Amino acid sequence: MRTSILVANLFLVPVTLSLTGCGKPVVDVNPAVTTIGQATPISVHVHDGHGVSKVTLTLTQNGAKFETSRGETASKEKDPTFNFTVGTKSYPQLRDGVAKLAIDATSAGLMHGATHWGQDVNVVTQPPMVSADSDQHYLYQGMADLATFNVSGSYTSAGVRVGDQSFRAWPMPGGKPGLFSLYAFAWNMPQSTVPMVFAANAAGNDVTTPLTVIFPKKEQPVYTQHEIQVSDQFMQKVLGELDPNGTGDPVERFVKINTEMRKSNNKTLSDLRLKTADHFLWHEVFTRQAHAQAEATFADVRSYIYHGKKIDQQVHLGYDLAVTQHVGVEASNDGKVVWAAPLGIYGNCVVVDHGYGLQTIYGHMSRIDVHEGDMVKRSQVMGLSGMTGMAGGDHIHFAMQLDGVQIDAKEWWDPHWIQDHVAKRVDLTGFVK
């Protein structure tokens, strides 16, 4: 009897069949690939808990298949990355047009699960071609301008490049053929810099052609030098408003605000270029604040003096316009409000977009009466002047920027300049001198 019990108990022992190793690899191509050029890097990340026994990359075009020599690479790692380089250098038979990119990954697990990944890509064998206008572009440092050009062939970005700064291309208004770009020659750009029209594609091709540029005979513009006397009262005002919880040496805190905060605020302003309309929002000359006196002009060099000692130096990229205390701040032209909030050294600040990357900036306001998203009309009052931020007296800090680069506003107040540099080159419908 004891033996039969033992036999019976043997049949009660559970038997578990392991089913691990049946999963399929997870394939991720990052960064994404949409274009294949001469030698395009492709990074394939494969996740599989049992490792990867095989990865193959294949390009198929017009019935012909091209496998890379690294397609048989295998790894026992759970999260390996396989790097391939494919293109017309390795496969000269590829032609411009659509091809199919495929990744096949096989697990090293028991069941050798396989995953197939594929998408269409565009094969680009030729660089784009660029032709710039034949106009003579009269420039000086701090000035804006407009260039027209044509780009043929495959391209993903185009515009005008000035040194290390790039300005976007836009389709010509009114459906006319070609492209144009509003661009800036920054206040501190070396005068030897030649603006270049460029076009680039995802295959790594970058083609440029120069604009014909004429600079004034004088080597450099003469920027006004100013000494700003920093009183104890002004320092406490700035620290109390812009660094209320700070501690430590007041001079160090003041300089940090004037340098690091200024840099951060200007980055915020520059990023507003992404909130621009793809058409002109204005058709009249830009207007200057009525009855205003300019207390400071564009690119003034300011030395900050505290108790007889120079503690800092900054460049003032705008106009300080003063009328009376709490005067109504007027929009310089029609546009859309893309910022209406405090902004560090600029205090209460409004930024109006006028399309194609052109924007006006109004700082130090005591009150803001518009909101982000509002459409405003030329000369519309948007709030009241004041002395918020890094301001020692009641005034309006007025500035302009083009694709995030701050420029001299004075030309935009001149109808003849707008006619010669903008309206005669593109269709500025309804422009009124």
What is the tens place of the pLDDT at every residue in 212-269? 999 876 655 567 888 999 999 999 999 999 999 999 999 999 999 999 999 999 999 9
All CATH 2.70.70.10 domain ranges in the chain, comma separated: 225-423
- Helix, strand or coil, per DSSP, at residue 415: helix
> Which CATH number describes the domain made up of 225-423?
2.70.70.10
Q: Which CATH architecture has domain 26-123?
A: Sandwich (2.60)
Residue 128: its pLDDT value, please? Answer: 93
First to last CA, the chain: 116
Q: Between these two residues, 339 and 17, which has the higher pLDDT value?
A: 339
**DSSP E strand stretches across 170-211:** 170-171, 179-185, 196-200, 206-210
Q: DSSP strand E in 299-357: where?
A: 300-306, 309-316, 319-322, 328-330, 335-342, 348-353
Residue 109 pLDDT exceeds 90: no
Asked whether 286 and 346 are in contact (CB, 8 A), the reply is: no
- What stretch(es) of the chain map to CATH 2.60.40.10? 26-123
Architecture per CATH, domain 129-214, reads as Sandwich (2.60)
pLDDT digits (tens, 9 = 90+) for 350-382: 999 999 999 999 999 999 999 999 999 999 999
- Each residue's pLDDT tens digit, 76-91: 677 888 899 998 888 9
